[in-house]
Structure 1
Amino acid sequence: MAFDYDLFVIGAGSGGVRAARIASSHGARVAVAEEYRVGGTCVIRGCVPKKLLVYGSHFAEDLADAKRFGWRTEGATFDWAILRDNVAAEVDRLEGLYGQTLGNAKVEIIRQRAVVAGPNLVRLADGSEVSAANILIATGAWPSIPDIPGAEYGITSNEVFHLDKLPKRAVIAGAGYIANEFAGIFNELGVEVTLVTRGDKMLRSYDQEIVEKLVGISREKGIDI
Structure 2
Amino acid sequence: MFSSQQNAFRCDIGTVTYPGNPQSKWKLIFPFKVKHLFFVLEIRAIRSLQKHNPPTYGRCAITHTSSSPEYDLVVIGGGSGGLACSKAAREFGASVALIDGVTPSPHGTTWGIGGTCTNVGCIPKKLMHLAGIVGREVGHAPQYGWLKVEKGEHSWETLVKVVSDRIRANNWIYRVQLNEKKVMLYTALACFVGNRTIKTVSADNRKTELILHAKNVVVATGLRPRYPDIPGAKYGITSDDLFSLSKPPGRTLVVGASYVALECAGFLAHLGFPVHLLIRSRPLKPFDQKLLAPFVSPLQDPHKPI
TM-score (norm 1): 0.92
33, 57, 63: which is aligned to 2:132?
A: 57
After superposition, what is the alpha-carbon deviation per residue over 1:188-212, rounded to whole angstroms, capped at 9, x for unaligned? 111110111221x111122323422
Aligned residue type for 1:95: N
Structure 2 match to 1:34: 100
191, 195, 199: which is aligned to 1:119?
A: 195
Distance in 1 between residues matched to 2:93 and 2:140, nearest whole Å: 56
| 1:43 Cα offset (Å) | 0.8
185, 192, 196: which is aligned to 1:109?
A: 185
Distance in 1 between residues matched to 2:119 and 2:151, nearest whole Å: 33
Distance in 2 between residues matched to 1:27 and 1:118, nearest whole Å: 26
SS of residue in 2 equivalent to 1:141: coil
Give the total of aligned pairs: 221
Structure 2 match to 1:48: 123
The structure whose residues are more often helix, as a share, is 1
Structure 1 match to 2:212: 130
| 1:27 Cα offset (Å) | 0.6
Structure 2 match to 1:86: 162
Matched, 1:192 2:268: no
Aligned residue type for 2:249: P
Structure 1 match to 2:152: 76
Contact map agreement 1:34 1:109 (CA 8 A) in 2: yes
Identity between Structure 1 and Structure 2 (%): 35
| 1:64 Cα offset (Å) | 2.1
Aligned residue type for 2:165: A
After superposition, what is the alpha-carbon deviation per residue over 1:9-45, rounded to whole angstroms, capped at 9, x for unaligned? 1111111111111111101010001113211101111
Contact map agreement 2:139 2:151 (CA 8 A) in 1: no
Distance in 2 between residues matched to 1:193 and 1:187, nearest whole Å: 6
Distance in 2 between residues matched to 1:165 and 1:174, nearest whole Å: 23
Aligned residue type for 2:76: I
Distance in 1 between residues matched to 2:129 and 2:223, nearest whole Å: 23
Distance in 2 between residues matched to 1:211 and 1:180, nearest whole Å: 12
Structure 2 match to 1:10: 76
Distance in 2 between residues matched to 1:62 and 1:74, nearest whole Å: 11
Distance in 2 between residues matched to 1:60 and 1:161, nearest whole Å: 18
Distance in 2 between residues matched to 1:11 and 1:73, nearest whole Å: 46
How has the CA–CA distance of structure 1 residues 75 and 18 changed in structure 2, closer, same or farther, with 3 Å as cutoff? closer
RMSD: 1.8
Equivalences for residues 207-218 of structure 1 within 5 A: 207-218=288-299
Distance in 1 between residues matched to 2:193 and 2:275, nearest whole Å: 46
| 1:74 Cα offset (Å) | 4.2
Aligned residue type for 2:290: E
Distance in 2 between residues matched to 1:63 and 1:209, nearest whole Å: 33
User: Any gaps of 5 or more consecutive residues in structure 1?
Assistant: none
After superposition, what is the alpha-carbon deviation per residue over 1:61-120, rounded to whole angstroms, capped at 9, x for unaligned? 102222444534446121111111011100001111111111111100011111111101
Contact map agreement 2:251 2:273 (CA 8 A) in 1: yes
User: Any gaps of 5 or more consecutive residues in structure 2?
Assistant: 1-68, 103-111, 202-207
Aligned residue type for 1:131: H
After superposition, what is the alpha-carbon deviation per residue over 1:203-225, rounded to whole angstroms, capped at 9, x for unaligned? 112232342222233435321xx
Contact map agreement 1:10 1:115 (CA 8 A) in 2: no
Distance in 2 between residues matched to 1:73 and 1:217, nearest whole Å: 29
Q: 114-123 or 74-83: which moved more? A: 74-83
TM-score (norm 2): 0.68
Structure 2 match to 1:162: 244
Matched, 1:66 2:141: yes
Structure 2 match to 1:205: 286
| 1:150 Cα offset (Å) | 0.9
Distance in 1 between residues matched to 2:211 and 2:160, nearest whole Å: 39
